[in-house]
């Protein structure tokens, strides 16, 4: 009761406001996964999936009328990886996690679907991601013996081209293979990277991972963060060239390199990097166009945080519960929390063109019941036996199901604990000087408040989707009690 009351004190009751757009029957019951599969500013399409069928629902502009397409013969081992939409065609892309086949399911809007296998990985090839680059779908793979990045570009089901890039980052395959448990997105093979989608503002749970993939116009940018170094790999799809850059960061308070950790976030033309050794935290802002340092901000554990706007907050949840929020007493307490966790920084631009940063840490632990096996440990736990042909090595084949992380794991013999400590900082547009101002609550705060008020059992819905729609945010979830999909609208 105390923590729920505290949420109300931190965020006014008026911020609970949201409206229900509608509640919808699905032919696909019960649904297990839901994804948005439409372009911005176009009629919203949602893709629902369960073990036996796929369903695509198209909403009209008022969200009162829907059109449903159902495909009744999915391949059991296929995993949805992305979509491509044009004015006349929608294509859903899948990877078969057993065979390594990459395929597409296309529809022009009628009940007829066209399913095609596009390519199959060879023995040396590892599928990485499928991302949209302008009007093409790009399937990315790594050849581990040569450090080559293979980019296959598709115009729906037609191969538009194949490009090969020699990556100069010597530890590429090692960086993509190690500690997959630190990823917050499922690796579809034995390598993985987190794709950053700018459609919605990011939070620490989205960006704390140590490897990230960004799409900037016609360039693929991969950034790998280490304790005091950021490695940047750029593949220019127009010039057919790749580039490699390394940044090193040094703190004034010298300690053992093993105690230093760092992370970064690329937003617009600005590269934000945080580095900490447990006593000092440095925020460096670098111009990504010329790789020149714009500004440094330093925070020390025995001094107030001069660049923060509002209180330091501690957020905690377990087994898919609604997060609880409480203030952190002082800077020293904040540093104690972040010493044992993963660092993170994220940014968004406010209406006055200033930048709001969230700086802090994320820590998650997954415990396996004694009947299932030992504790998985830190991170998301997705790296346990995640090869194409196997899952759950050491804890029973198929026992770990990453698609249900984090809200359904407790039902499978797992206990999940997530902790975040963070503060917000507003910096000016060009010089990145601190701007003292009061902050409005963001969409994520409003969503937490909605959960706290509406889910009395304390459990967040397991199946949900969220996306930007015009100047709003839509959040939809599968309501198991009424077997319907509920869609709500929030202010951004």
In a domain, 381, yes or no: yes
Tokens of 378: 């830190």
Please tell me the predicted confidence (pLDDT) of residue 388: 26
- Residue 198 burial (CB < 10 Å; 0-12/13-18/19+)? middle
For residues 185 and 219, the model is more confident at: 219
Q: How confident is the model at residue 415 (pLDDT cuts 50, 70, 90)?
A: low
Answer yes or no: are the C-beta atoms of 264 and 202 closer than 8 Å.
no
Please tell me the predicted confidence (pLDDT) of residue 17: 64
Please tell me the predicted confidence (pLDDT) of residue 181: 72
CA angle 232, 133, 217 (to 5 degrees): 60
In a domain, 78, yes or no: no
* Mean pLDDT for the chain overall: 85
In a domain, 77, yes or no: no
Please tell me the predicted confidence (pLDDT) of residue 185: 77
Q: Where are the beta strands (DSSP E) in 301-350?
A: 313-318, 324-327, 342-349
Q: How confident is the model at residue 353 (pLDDT cuts 50, 70, 90)?
A: very high
pLDDT at 179 over 70: yes
Question: Tell me: the pLDDT tens digits for 369-412?
Answer: 554 444 444 333 332 222 222 222 222 222 233 333 333 333 44
For residues 61 and 442, the model is more confident at: 61
Answer yes or no: are the C-beta atoms of 284 and 249 closer than 8 Å.
yes
Please tell me the predicted confidence (pLDDT) of residue 77: 85
In a domain, 187, yes or no: yes
Q: Which range (34-43, 176-185, 381-390) has the least confidence?
A: 381-390
In a domain, 472, yes or no: no
What integer is the mean pLDDT of 302-331?
A: 93
In a domain, 53, yes or no: no
For residues 413 and 248, the model is more confident at: 248
As for how many domains the chain has, the answer is 1
In a domain, 140, yes or no: no
Q: How confident is the model at residue 368 (pLDDT cuts 50, 70, 90)?
A: low
Question: Tell me: the pLDDT tens digits for 207-247?
Answer: 999 999 999 999 999 999 999 999 999 999 999 999 999 99
Rounded to the nearest 10 degrees, what angle do helices 2-10 and 443-454 cross at? Answer: 140
Q: Which range (315-319, 370-374, 438-442) has the least confidence?
A: 370-374
Give the residue numbers spanning the domain of 353: 170-439
In a domain, 144, yes or no: no
Q: Which of 23-27, 255-259, 408-412 has the highest mean pLDDT?
A: 23-27
DSSP letter for 322, please: P
For residues 337 and 491, the model is more confident at: 337
Q: What CA–CA distance (Å, rounded) separates 487 from 492?
A: 15
Three-state SS at 92: strand
- 95's CB contacts (< 8 A; 6+ apart) are 78, 79, 81, 101, 102, 103, 127, 130, 188, 189
Between the alpha carbon of residue 472 and those of residues 353, 469, 489, the distances in Å are 19, 5, 7
pLDDT at 424 over 60: yes
Please tell me the predicted confidence (pLDDT) of residue 414: 56
């Amino acid at each position: 009761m105390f923590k729920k009351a505290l949420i109300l004190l931190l965020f006014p009751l008026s911020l609970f406001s949201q409206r229900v757009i509608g509640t919808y029957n699905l032919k696909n019951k019960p649904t297990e996964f839901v994804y948005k599969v439409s372009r911005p500013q176009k009629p919203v399409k949602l893709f629902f999936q369960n073990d036996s069928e796929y369903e695509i629902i198209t909403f009209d502009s008022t969200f009162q009328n829907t059109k449903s397409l159902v495909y009744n013969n999915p391949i059991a081992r296929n995993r949805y990886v992305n979509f491509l939409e044009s004015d006349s065609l929608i294509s859903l892309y899948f990877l078969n996690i057993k065979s390594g086949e990459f395929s597409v399911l296309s529809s022009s809007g009628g009940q007829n679907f066209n399913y095609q296998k596009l390519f199959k990985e060879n023995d040396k090839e590892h599928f990485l991601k499928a991302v949209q680059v302008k009007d093409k779908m790009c399937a990315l793979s790594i050849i581990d013996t040569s450090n080559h990045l293979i980019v296959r570009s598709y115009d729906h089901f037609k191969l538009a081209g194949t490009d090969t890039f020699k990556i100069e980052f010597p530890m590429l395959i090692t960086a993509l293979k190690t500690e997959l448990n630190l990823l917050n997105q499922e690796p579809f093979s034995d390598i993985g990277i987190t794709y950053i989608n700018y459609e919605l503002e990011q939070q620490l749970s989205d960006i704390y991972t140590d490897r990230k993939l960004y799409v900037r116009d016609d360039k693929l940018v991969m950034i790998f963060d280490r304790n005091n170094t950021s490695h940047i790999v750029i593949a220019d799809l127009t010039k057919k060239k790749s580039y490699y850059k390394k940044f090193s960061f040094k703190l004034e308070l010298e300690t053992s390199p093993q105690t230093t950790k760092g992370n970064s976030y690329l937003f617009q033309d600005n590269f934000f990097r945080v580095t900490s050794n447990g006593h000092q935290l440095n925020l460096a802002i670098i111009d990504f166009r010329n790789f020149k340092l714009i500004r440094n901000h330093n925070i020390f554990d025995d001094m107030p945080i001069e660049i923060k706007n509002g209180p330091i907050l501690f957020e905690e949840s377990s087994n898919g519960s609604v997060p609880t929020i409480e203030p952190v007493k002082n800077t020293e307490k904040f540093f104690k929390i972040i010493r044992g966790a993963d660092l993170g920084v994220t940014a968004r631009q406010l209406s006055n063109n200033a930048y709001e940063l969230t700086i802090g840490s994320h820590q998650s632990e997954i415990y396996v019941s004694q009947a299932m096996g030992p504790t998985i440990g830190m991170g998301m736990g997705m790296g346990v036996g995640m090869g194409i042909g196997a899952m759950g090595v050491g804890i029973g084949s198929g026992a770990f199901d990453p698609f249900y992380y984090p809200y359904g794991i407790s039902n499978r013999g797992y206990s999940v604990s997530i902790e975040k400590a963070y503060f917000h900082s507003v910096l000016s547009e060009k010089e990145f000087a601190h701007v003292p101002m009061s902050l409005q609550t963001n969409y994520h705060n409003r969503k937490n408040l909605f959960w706290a008020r509406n889910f009395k059992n304390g459990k967040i819905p397991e199946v949900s989707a969220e996306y930007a729609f015009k100047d709003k945010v839509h959040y939809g979830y599968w309501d198991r009690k009424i077997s319907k999909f509920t869609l709500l609208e929030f202010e951004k």
